[in-house]
Amino acid sequence: MQLAWLNGEWTPLEAARISPLDRGFLFGDGVYEVIPVYRRRLFAFGPHLERLKHSLGATGIANPHTDEEWRRLCETLIERHPWDDQFIYLQVTRGVQPKRDHLPDDCLVPTVFAYTSELKPVDEAILKKGIRCITAEDIRWQRCDIKAITLLPNVMLKMQARAAGADDAILIRNGLVSEGTASNVMIVEGDRLSTPPLDHALLGGITRQILLQVAREAGLEVREEAITEKRLAQADEIWLTSSTKEALPVVVLNGEPVGTGIPGPIWQRLRQAFHAAREQWMEQNHE
Ligand SMILES: Cc1ncc(COP(=O)(O)O)c(C=O)c1O
């Protein structure tokens, strides 16, 4: 049975209930985090926790737990579920407020919700074939560095991609690539790997951070720099990166082939190097 942790109590996931007066429900006033687990161990827990604290700090939501309590909660979730590979979802909202008001009361108690699911590897058939993307205007807010639960634009953009017969959308703001609807974007030009620099326009992806390091160690030239829509269209390879999907090769952009139209050689190489680095990291960090 899938269990949820809700405000200090364990309940079956389907039985978990929150008040409709929760500010997360009424205002989307909350943040979340997704942490992958491999062979029953947390992967890159430190960076994920730092990002959660960044999201809480930036929104002024009180952090309800110490680092050690967060870790314990995640480890208990792993222990209480059967899967070797999991992804843990943590959500903190500003809490329940009796009177609906944009301005939060001072003494709210944050709502903490956590559960875990089985993490299945991306289908081999999808990895072999690659995915299709469109570009779309980035209609989101200006603080995409915060992992906010307010995901309506991301939902609409993903629906827009599907309506266009594509799998996902790569978002463009002022002519520059920001990220995917739930991923970061990387491009390969020759043996150079580029990705947009961290700022308020995009989420600081943990997979992004690790892949850039792996790419540097593999001898690739790595650049964190602005990428124009034109450069994106001319790239040899495009990848979407995230914790649950790792790196997905994009083979069609706006109906045109990316590079040779099949998942590229640098992606193949980096994917293997990423897996090797992850194994090594987990051995060394015992996370
Ligand atoms: C908007 C957005 N950007 C980037 C990412 C990638 O982040 P990470 O690699 O930490 O999963 C995500 C992950 O869900 C996301 O939602």
Q: Evaluate: CB of 205 within 6 angstroms of ligand 1.
A: yes
**Percentage of the residues of the chain whose pLDDT score is greater than 90:** 97
Reported as a pLDDT band with limits 50, 70 and 90, residue 134 is very high
Reported as a pLDDT band with limits 50, 70 and 90, residue 249 is very high
The four Cα atoms 105, 200, 135, 265 give a dihedral, to 10 degrees, of: -130
Reported as a pLDDT band with limits 50, 70 and 90, residue 281 is confident
Domain map of the chain by residue range? Answer: 3-118, 124-283
Closest CA to 205 of 161, 22, 256, 213: 213
**Active site positions, annotated:** 147
CATH architecture, domain defined by 124-283 = Alpha-Beta Barrel (3.20)
Res 218: pLDDT? 96
Distance from the alpha carbon of residue 105 to the mean position of ligand 1, in angstroms: 30
147 in helix, strand or coil?
coil
Alpha carbons 239 and 248: distance in angstroms, whole number: 5
Distance from the alpha carbon of residue 98 to the mean position of ligand 1, in angstroms: 33
- Asked if residue 214 lies in contact with residue 208, where contact means CB atoms within 8 angstroms, the answer is no
CATH architecture, domain defined by 3-118 = 2-Layer Sandwich (3.30)
- Asked if residue 242 lies in contact with residue 207, where contact means CB atoms within 8 angstroms, the answer is yes
Q: Evaluate: CB of 111 within 6 angstroms of ligand 1.
A: no
Res 286: pLDDT? 58
Q: What is the mean pLDDT of the chain?
A: 97
Res 209: pLDDT? 98
Q: Evaluate: CB of 207 within 6 angstroms of ligand 1.
A: yes
3-118 matches 124-283 in fold: no
Reported as a pLDDT band with limits 50, 70 and 90, residue 275 is very high
Res 282: pLDDT? 84
Distance from the alpha carbon of residue 179 to the mean position of ligand 1, in angstroms: 9
Task: Give me the mean pLDDT over the 6-11 stretch.
Answer: 97
Residue with CA at minimum distance from ligand 1 atom 4 = 183
Q: Evaluate: CB of 78 within 6 angstroms of ligand 1.
A: no
Task: Give me the mean pLDDT over the 84-112 stretch.
Answer: 97
Q: Evaluate: CB of 203 within 6 angstroms of ligand 1.
A: yes
Residue with CA at minimum distance from ligand 1 atom 2 = 182
Task: Give me the mean pLDDT over the 102-110 stretch.
Answer: 97
Residue 287 has pLDDT above 70, yes or no: no
For the chain, state the CA radius of gyration. Answer: 19
Per-residue pLDDT tens digits for 159-182:
999 999 999 999 999 999 999 999
Distance from the alpha carbon of residue 206 to the mean position of ligand 1, in angstroms: 8
Res 260: pLDDT? 96
Alpha carbons 92 and 71: distance in angstroms, whole number: 15
